[in-house]
Structure 1
Amino acid sequence: MFRKKKNTFTFHQKKRIITPKLIREIFSWILVTVMAVFLAFVIVTAFGMQVKVIGDSMEPTIYNGQGVLVDRLIFKLFGAKNGDVVVFLPNGNTNSHYYVKRVVGCPGDKVQIIDGDLYINGVVSKTGNIDYDKMEDAGIAASELKLGSGEYFLLGDNRNSSEDSRSANIGVVTTRMMVGKAWFKVKNQQGGAGFILD
């Protein structure tokens, strides 16, 4: 008589052992991923906002339709200074398009345009390395303006083709109206890419 052999095949499932070392490694990967996502978010939020310039008011620095990247974080910490190119909404109107202009007068300054020249505190201003044309329209700066706390006077680099602080509907621009500093211009058909210098 034949004896039936017992099935000797057994299937043992290998148990996975979760060690403290494995847990630490998993958490370190999660932490690195979260930090990378957070850092990318901060960089894009702070420096990655892009605004297109409308019109030729900032030529030859920035051309019509050229995009600029806006620094919002450092700008909020340190504010604007003379020569900065800033992005703002006139009177804080969120329905308006963004304006891009250069700061020529800061809080405490006395601003006036006399015979087409910009005077800051009684001295002819030479902001930046641009040779500006004499301004045909002094606008509200025909009389001396004293800038208060948080107030700035802004002009376009193409001064005879710019709606800026001289215009009564824009006027003096406050810190509250400013979005940030334009720090980099994106290449387009007319202008090359590069940092925007004071």
Structure 2
Amino acid sequence: MVFRMLRNIYEWLKSLVIAALLAYIIHTFLFAIVIVSGPSMEPTLHNGERLILNKIVYKIHPPERGDIIVFHATETDDYIKRVIGIPGDKIEFKNNQLFVNGQPVEEPYLGDVYTGDISPFTVPDETLYVLGDNRNNSSDSRIFGPVAIDKVVGRVKIVIWPLNKLGFID
């Protein structure tokens, strides 16, 4: 009887340890939940929304224009921004229009915001040019320059909270 009880406890503890180990591996290497803080990605993302962060995607292929990424902005802060330019791209804003490599880029996620003019800028190797969708209220590459690719944590594609926003991010 005691042996059977000890065996049940052992099996239960073993299952608990395996579950905790799997949760740790998934959170550390594959996926995490991040919380939007601030208005810099409005109207696409809003303060307090919870997102699933895919940490493994950029181990398979590099970030692409239009991706919404999370990156280490400082030692203590992570930012969420949209990739506008990849290494080698020439970025320019003229008359409130984004140009990448001389071609106008449609940005339907912006709404009616004024970005301002920015002189042509070539994105250096191993970096990304990132901007918030709320251009009038965003600290981004216009302020702190391009982001080193090795600072990128992953890509967000899914809102999980609040439930009325559950779904993929455009």
TM-score after normalising by structure 2: 0.78
Partner of 2:40: 57
Q: Which amino acid aligns with 2:160?
A: V
Which stretches of structure 1, 4 residues or longer, exceed 6 Å deviation after superposition? 33-38
More strand by share: 2
Distance verdict in 2 for CA 1:55–1:34, change over 3 Å: closer
Partners of 2:169 and 2:25 lie apart in 1 by: 22
Which has the greater radius of gyration? Answer: 1
Q: Where do residues 1-150 of structure 1 align in structure 2 (5 Å cutoff)?
A: 40-90=23-73, 93-95=74-76, 97-127=77-107, 129-138=108-117, 142-150=118-126
Amino acid at match of 1:130: Y
SS in 2 for 1:143: strand
Say how many residue pairs are matched.
157
| Unaligned residue ranges in structure 1 (runs of 5+) | 1-29
CA RMSD of aligned residues (A): 2.6
Match of 2:134 in 1: 158
- Cα distance in structure 2, aligned partners of 1:37 and 1:64: 30
Question: Structure 2: which amino acid aligns with 1:103?
Answer: V
Looking at structure 1, the residues matched to 138 and 47 of structure 2 have their Cα atoms a distance apart, in angstroms, of 12
- Percent identity of paired positions between Structure 1 and Structure 2: 33
Task: Answer yes or no: is 1:183 the counterpart of 2:157.
Answer: yes
Q: Which runs of 5+ in 2 are unaligned?
A: 1-13
What is the CA–CA distance in structure 2 between the aligned matches of 1:86 and 1:133, rounded to whole Å? 23
